[in-house]
Amino acid sequence: MKFSSYSADKWLVLVVSLPASNATLRMRIWRATRALGCAVLRDGVYLLPAGRGLRQALRMHAEEIKQGGGNAYLLNVANPSVEEKTDFQGLFDRSDEYQKLMERINEFIATLGALDATAGRRQLKVLSRDFEALVTLDYFSSSGKVEADAMLAQAEAAFFASLAADEPQAGGGEVRQREAPEYQQRLWATRKHLWVDRMASAWLIRRFIDRDARFLWLEKPDDCPPEALGFDFDGAEFTHIGNLVSFEVLLASFGLEGDPALAKLGALVHNLDVGGMPVMEASGVEMILGGIRKRCADDDALLADASKIFDDLYAVYGEEGK
């Protein structure tokens, strides 16, 4: 991650006097100054470095205060003394906050073996979000920023490595083109206890490739019978290739990637299976599929319920493309 910092030569001071009778305004300004990372010099006096929209934000809040019956003055402080620069910057030191965040990241890494994929992704997203929020308010690149960034990357790598024991390894080569009529009324096999890539792949097979497909849920990949078409495990007929997850390989194999709605589904499945480019609705879909997985007694019931979700997503994505 690329970091930037502010100059200590120019500062903004917001001096406010709020009406005691307007509790709502007092709470709103308190939250606003916290969100901007203002240093509090004394009650009603807030300090920020000048630049990159902060002046506009403070001016907007000053106008809000005046309209709410209070007084507000936005002052510019330029070329403070060396001592004043040091004192001002010290008010924005986020080192302790980075330290606390790194302790939380360490706790996350220590619990990886006990976390399922859904809980792990959720916790990792929270840590990433909190780091980004802290970076936004770290105007002078406090000690610990680089270390926290590196530790977060390490945690993300460790998390995906913890999932890899049960996940197929990406193979080399190119996707081979197939003809759907040659893959009808077949037996398809994948690992049991379905998760996103296997759920979506099974849905895709039955919806777009082999409508009369039968599925076999394997305890382990070695149990796959020779007549079955395996997917999403090492050595399977259809599995990860390069940067493509199994769902995307199936799309490419059967010439389905030209369907915009399926392409969007592919991006969603990719994000939930191996990470990568963010998809806005991914966390919500992950939560719903995780709930279905906990509720369903077996993989047949799981696929039936999950298929309804993928049907709905495909319909919504199709409408977005019109």
| pTM over 0.85, yes/no | no
Report whether 272 contacts 285 (CB < 8 A).
yes
Calpha distance 232→32 (Å, rounded): 48
Q: Name residues whose C-beta falls within 8 Å of residue 44's C-beta, 6 or more positions apart in sequence.
A: 15, 16, 17, 18
User: Looking at the predicted structure, is the pLDDT value of residue 51 above 90?
Assistant: no
The CATH number of the structural domain formed by 10-90 is 3.30.70.930
* C-alpha distance from residue 57 to each of 29, 61, 249 (Å): 11, 6, 48
Calpha distance 218→18 (Å, rounded): 67
Domain boundaries of the chain, sorted by first residue: 10-90, 95-164, 180-320
User: Looking at the predicted structure, is the pLDDT value of residue 211 above 60?
Assistant: yes
As a dihedral over the C-alpha atoms of residue 268, residue 272, residue 278, residue 279, rounded to 10 degrees, the angle is: 40
Q: What's the confidence (pLDDT) of residue 4?
A: 52
User: Looking at the predicted structure, is the pLDDT value of residue 244 above 80?
Assistant: yes
Q: What's the confidence (pLDDT) of residue 163?
A: 63
User: Looking at the predicted structure, is the pLDDT value of residue 148 above 60?
Assistant: yes
Indicate the average pLDDT of the chain: 91
Convert the pLDDT of each residue in 273-284 to its tens digit. Answer: 887 788 889 888
Burial of 221 (0-12, 13-18, 19+ CB in 10 A): middle
Mean pLDDT, residues 113-141 taken together: 88
In which band, very low, low, confident or very high, does the pLDDT at 2 lie, cut at 50, 70 and 90?
Answer: very low
**Packing angle of the helix pair 282-295, 196-204 (nearest 10 deg):** 90
Task: Locate 132 and state its tokens.
Answer: 């980004």
Task: Locate 45 and state its tokens.
Answer: 């006096």
Calpha distance 201→246 (Å, rounded): 7
Calpha distance 44→91 (Å, rounded): 16
